[in-house]
Amino acid sequence: MRYSQFPLTTLKEVPAEAEIVSHQLMLRAGLIRRLASGLFTWMPLGLKVLRKVEAVVREEMDRSGALELLMPAVQPAELWQETGRWEQYGPLLLRMSDRHGRDFCFGPTHEEVITDVARRELRSYRQLPVNYYQIQTKFRDEIRPRFGVMRSREFLMKDAYSFDLDPEGLEVAYGKMHDAYRAIFERLGLRFRVVDADSGEIGGSRSQEFHVLAESGEDAIAYCDADSYASNVETAATERPAGERPAATQALETVSTPDVRTIDALCEFLKVRPEQTLKTLIVEGEDGPIALVLRGDHELNAVKAQKLPGVKTPLTMAGPDAVRAATGAGPGYAGPHGLGVPVFFDHATALMADCVAGANRDGAHLTGLNFGRDIDEPGTVDIRNVVAGDPTPGGNGELSIARGIEVGHIFQLGDKYSRAMNAAVLDDEGRERVLSMGCYGIGITRIVGAAIEQNHDDAGIVWPEQLAPFDAVIVPIGMDKSETVREAAEELYRNLESRGVDVLIDDRNARPGVKFADAELIGIPHRLVVSKRGLAAGEIEYRHRRDTESVQLKRDEALDRVVGESLV
Ligand code: ATP
Ligand code: MG
C-alpha cells in the first residue's frame, strides 16, 4: 500500500473526549472516527486490524468444529416474548417497529434466534452435537458508552451457541470453547486471565469470562495463583469468619453527630476506624424496603445482594423519602438497632464488637453496639466485594485484585431457552429431549481497544505482530530529490510485496520526522529507512517498533529479517 493513496489523517493532539489511552490512540492513529455516542466508523486502517482479529477468531472456531452461519441483526419481538426477555431486557434493547406496526429489536445477542433455528432444524440426536457461530453486529443501548470501541453501542461480536442432548454433552462443548478461547487470546498475543463469572440476566449455571489484564479495565478480578483461583469480584465469594467474637467492653450510647453522613466523616468525627463501624444501606424490596448491613470499610456487591430473597433485581437503592420512611431519619443515619424493616448482615460483621452505627435519628449515631446484647445475633450472608488479603475459598492463600477488560464470556445455559421455546430432539429411544445449550461470546471490536491498552508507549501503538495493520513500513528519505533513493525504496517495496509482506511505503513529500512519528503512532512492527547515505554503504536502517535503537543492515539481511518475522 502506498501512503499517498491511503488518505490517513493522524492527530498530534490528544482528543478531549477520549479518557483512556486506547481510545486516544485509535482516534489519533485514524483507526476509528466517531459518528455519534457509541457509534464508530472503522476507517480502512482500523478495519484491517479488526479483520485480523476476526480471522484468528474464525480460524479457531472452525478448528473447534463450530459451524459459521449468519443470523439477521433485526429480530422479531415475538421470539423475545417467548422467553420473557422482551420485558426483562430493559432499556439496553433497541426496539423499533416496521411499517405494519410489528415490533422488532436490533439484536443485542442471539439466544432467541438461534434457539428458533435449532427447534426448526434439529430433530434427532443423530444431528448432535452442533455448535453454530456467527460474527456479527450487535446493538446495546448502553447507559454510558465510553472508552471508544470498548463500550460502544454498536459493536461486532462473535457469538456461538452449542446444542447437546444432555448436560454431559454440554460440558464437552463448553470445554471445547474454553480451549478455543484460550488459543484465540494466546494467538492474539494478549495477556489474559480466565475467571469465574456471574451468568447475569442471560441465565444458566456455569460461566467464565476471559479478561485482558489492564489498569483501565472496568472489572475487578480476584485471584490467587497458589490456589489456582480467579473470579470476577462480582461473584468472588466470602465466608463467615471463623473464631470468637471479642467481648463487649462498651455500654450502648447515643452520640450526637450532626452533618455526619458518611463512614469517612463518622470515623473522622468519632476518631474510630472504619472496621469498627456498621454501614446500613436501604434498598428496595418486593414488599417494602430492606436493610443491608456491612462493615464500614466494605463495599456492597450488587450482584450478590440482588439474589437475596425479597430484594429487587436489579438492585435499587431506596431514595431519601423511602429511607426516611424505613428508618425515621434521612440518609446517613440508618442503623440496625431498632430498625423495623428486614435486615441482612454481611458475614464480615459476624465477629464485630463495640460497633458504631447509625441511630435511625437525624444527627445521631450509636456507639458500643453489641450483637447478642443490644441486637440479636446476626445470621449473616455474603453481600460484599472481596478485598485484597481476603482468604481464598480453597484456604491456601490470600486474594489479590487486578483490573481486567472482559473480552470473552462462555456460559452453560442448560435448558433455559430451549425449554421456553420448546427446542427438543428425539433420542435413541424415540423420547423427546429438551436440548442442553451453551453460549459463547467474544467482543471482536473490544479486543482491538484492549490490545492497545496492553501494547503502547509514549509514541503510540505497539501492535502485537498478529494484529498490526501492516507488517512493515518503508520510509524513503529525500525520495523527491534522489532517484537512487526512489528506485531502491520502490524495489524494496516490490520485493516485500511479492514475498507476501503487507508493506506500506511512505511516499509522501513529508519530512522524515513526520513520517517516523506517524509510523510509530500507527505501530507498524518493522521499519526500513532508505537513505542516500545508507545506500552508498549498501545498507538499510532497520528498527522494530519495540526496539529502542535502529541498526544498519545489509539490504538482503534487512529483507530477510522482515520476511522472517512477518506473518506471511
Ligand atoms: P459487559 O459486562 O462488559 O457489559 P456483557 O457481560 O454484557 O459485557 P456479554 O453479553 O457477555 O457482555 O457479551 C459478550 C462479549 O461482547 C463481552 O465479553 C464483550 O467482550 C463484548 N461486549 C459486550 N458489550 C459490549 C459493548 N457495549 N461494546 C463492545 N463490546 C461489548
Ligand atoms: Mg459478559
228 pLDDT above the threshold of 80:
yes
Distance 93 CA to ligand 1 centre (A): 14
Distance 392 CA to ligand 1 centre (A): 27
Cβ contacts of 302-310, under 8 Å, gap ≥ 24: 303/198, 303/200, 303/234, 303/235, 304/234, 304/235, 304/382, 304/383, 304/384, 305/344, 305/383, 308/344, 308/381, 308/383, 310/285, 310/286, 310/342
Compute how many other C-beta atoms are within 10 angstroms of the C-beta atom of residue 264: 11
157 lines ligand 1 (CB under 6 A): yes
Q: What is the pLDDT of residue 7?
A: 86
Q: Is 409 in the pocket of ligand 1 (CB under 6 A)?
A: yes
| pLDDT per position as a tens digit, 100-116 | 999 999 999 999 999 99
C-alpha grid cell for residue 504? 506500506
Judge whether residue 44 has pLDDT over 60: yes
Atom of ligand 1 nearest to the CA of 151: 28
Residue nearest to atom 28 of ligand 1 (CA): 151
At 327-370, the pLDDT tens digits run 999 999 999 999 999 999 999 999 999 999 999 999 999 999 99
CA distance 230 to 464: 25
Q: Sorting pLDDT into bands at 50, 70 and 90, what band is 202?
A: low
Q: What pLDDT was estimated at residue 394?
A: 78
Q: If you take atom 1 of ligand 1, which residue's CA is the nearest one?
A: 406
pLDDT in tens, 514-533: 999 999 999 999 999 999 99
Q: Report CA(235)–ligand 2 centroid distance (Å).
A: 13
- Ligand 1 in contact with 152 (CB < 6 A)? yes
Please report the pLDDT score of residue 393 as a whole number. Answer: 82
| Whether the CB of 195 sits within 6 Å of ligand 1 | no
| pLDDT at residue 203 in the model | 54
- Give the model confidence (pLDDT) of 274-290 as tens digits: 999 999 999 999 999 99
Cα(222)–Cα(201) distance, integer angstroms:
22
Maximum separation of any 2 CA atoms in the chain, in Å:
94
Residue 120 CA, ligand 1 centroid: distance in Å: 28
- Output the residue whose Cα is nearest ligand 1's atom 6: 409
Beta carbons within 8 Å of 285's beta carbon, 6+ residues apart: 310, 311, 312, 342
Which residues are paired to 433 by β-bridges?
425
pLDDT tens-place string over residues 409-454: 999 999 999 999 999 999 999 999 999 999 999 999 999 999 999 9
Gap from CA of 406 to ligand 1 centroid (Å): 7
DSSP SS3 for 193? strand
Nearest to 252 by CA among 370, 371, 368: 368
Q: What is the mean pLDDT of residues 196-202?
A: 72
| Average pLDDT of the chain to the nearest whole number | 95
User: pTM, whole model, 2 decimals?
Assistant: 0.91
Residue 216 has pLDDT above 90, yes or no: yes
Please report where in the chains the cell 472489572 appears, as a residue: 219
For 335, the grid coordinates are: 442503623
Specify the residue with its C-alpha closest to ligand 1, atom 13. Answer: 441
- SS3 letters across 334-376: CCCCCCCCCEEEEHHHCCCCCEEEEEEECCEEEEEECECCCEC
Ligand 2 midpoint to CA 208 (Å): 9
111 φ, ψ (degrees, to nearest 5): -60, -45
C-alpha 18 to ligand 2 mean position (Å): 24
Count Cβ atoms within 10 A of the Cβ of residue 499 and give its class: 0-12 exposed, 13-18 middle, 19 or more buried. Answer: middle
Closest ligand 1 atom number to CA of residue 159 = 14
C-alpha cell at 184: 484465540
Exposed/middle/buried for residue 118 (C-beta within 10 Å: 0-12, 13-18, 19+): buried
- The percent of residues above 90 in pLDDT, for the chain, comes to 92
Nearest-atom index, ligand 1, CA of 442: 15
pLDDT over threshold 70, residue 567? no
